[in-house]
């Protein structure tokens, strides 16, 4: 791209990632348009309301003059999902993404960055590091919808002038984080003794500021066009190490206690507890060296810096 500061549309501006990514780009002089359900106020960001995302959404006002789309919006993974609601993953994540991309092509958008998920590759735990060349084997609605969206976007853009970049992050952390990590932080804040020692798994995480930095590189680099990448901080960590770092930030007086491995194995065998224990003790390492090799990008912020945020 010839322009050093293209006009960017960020969808899902009200989400956990969008709230951090939008100021990141605005502070660097980018012309940012943010689309979301609720008004978003930030210097340098023009807000455009979008009530829902599906195949009927009209993106005309949001796409006016836009060079790059960063598509963050989508139906997020939910642990307790009603079977009757699972079709919404397809309607939002697949049909909604395809509809946006179709309108972006017609509007002359140069690059479309689709934020997918590591769950498009694999559902659950995995001991070996995931790399882009491995086959995708999601088996739950969220991951399946993200993978289907990737495939549909690839088919659309291969015959168009718009370039596609697919980014698959693992668990993202940062200010306003939700889900499992938010629940873990609440526990750490409240308890003086924390039974999370001795968990010898391997996890890759991604700080939201590092993610924003990687997105900027994806915008500026031609070498990433029409490719799919895993993105991570580059540091594998055990759940025990993560808890130790969270203790240092949120509850320095708390004590970390080791739990024998057989107790965790028993927990995995209890039906109502097995899923929670598996999320806590399972491994999911990510090898993100391909993006680094293609672009020279390295995570600019340490985990400790971002946890303090």
Rounded to 5 degrees, what angle do the CA atoms 297, 220, 303 make? 35
CA 35/CA 46 separation, integer angstroms: 9
Grouping H, G, I as helix, E, B as strand and the rest as coil, residue 181 is helix
3-state SS, residue 241? helix
Tokens at residue 42, please? 């930030």
Q: How many CB atoms lie within 10 A of CB 36?
A: 24
Buried b (16+ CB within 10 A) or exposed e, 227-237: bbbbbbbbebb
The DSSP symbol for 130 reads B
Alpha helices, DSSP H, located in the chain: 16-27, 60-63, 87-89, 96-106, 141-157, 179-190, 208-220, 239-250, 261-269, 271-281, 289-295, 303-308
Cα gap 309→299, rounded to integer Å: 16
Torsion of CA 260, 262, 263, 265, to 10 degrees: 130
Which are the catalytic amino acids?
142
CA pair distance 161, 149, nearest whole angstrom: 19
Alpha helices in 137-282 (DSSP H): 141-157, 179-190, 208-220, 239-250, 261-269, 271-281
């Amino acid at each position: 791209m010839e322009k050093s500061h293209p006009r960017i549309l960020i969808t899902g501006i009200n989400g956990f990632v969008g709230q951090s990514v939008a100021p990141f780009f605005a502070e660097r002089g980018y012309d940012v348009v943010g689309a979301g359900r609720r008004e978003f106020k930030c210097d340098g960001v023009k807000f455009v309301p979008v009530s829902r995302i599906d195949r009927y959404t009209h993106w005309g006002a949001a796409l006016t003059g836009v060079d790059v789309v960063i598509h963050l919006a989508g139906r997020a993974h939910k642990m307790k999902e009603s079977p009757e609601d699972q079709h919404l993953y397809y309607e939002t994540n697949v049909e909604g993404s395809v509809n946006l991309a179709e309108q972006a092509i017609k509007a002359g958008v140069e690059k479309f960055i689709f934020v997918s998920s590591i769950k498009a590759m694999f559902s659950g735990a995995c001991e070996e590091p995931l790399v882009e060349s491995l086959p995708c084997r999601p088996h739950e609605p969220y991951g399946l919808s993200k993978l289907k969206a990737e495939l549909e976007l690839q088919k659309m853009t291969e015959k168009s002038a718009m370039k596609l970049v697919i980014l698959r992050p693992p668990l993202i952390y940062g200010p306003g984080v939700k889900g499992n990590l938010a629940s873990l932080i609440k526990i750490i804040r409240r308890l003086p003794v924390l039974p999370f020692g001795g968990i010898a798994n391997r996890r890759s995480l991604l700080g939201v500021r590092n993610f924003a930095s990687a997105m900027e590189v994806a915008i500026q680099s031609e070498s990433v066009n029409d490719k799919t990448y895993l993105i991570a901080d580059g540091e594998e960590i055990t759940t025990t190490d993560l808890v130790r770092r969270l203790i240092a930030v949120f509850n320095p007086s708390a004590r970390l206690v080791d739990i024998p491995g057989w107790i965790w194995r028993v927990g995995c065998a209890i039906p109502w507890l097995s899923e929670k224990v598996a999320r806590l003790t399972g491994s999911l390492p990510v090898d993100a060296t391909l993006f680094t090799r293609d672009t020279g990008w390295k995570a600019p912020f340490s985990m400790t810096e971002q946890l303090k945020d």
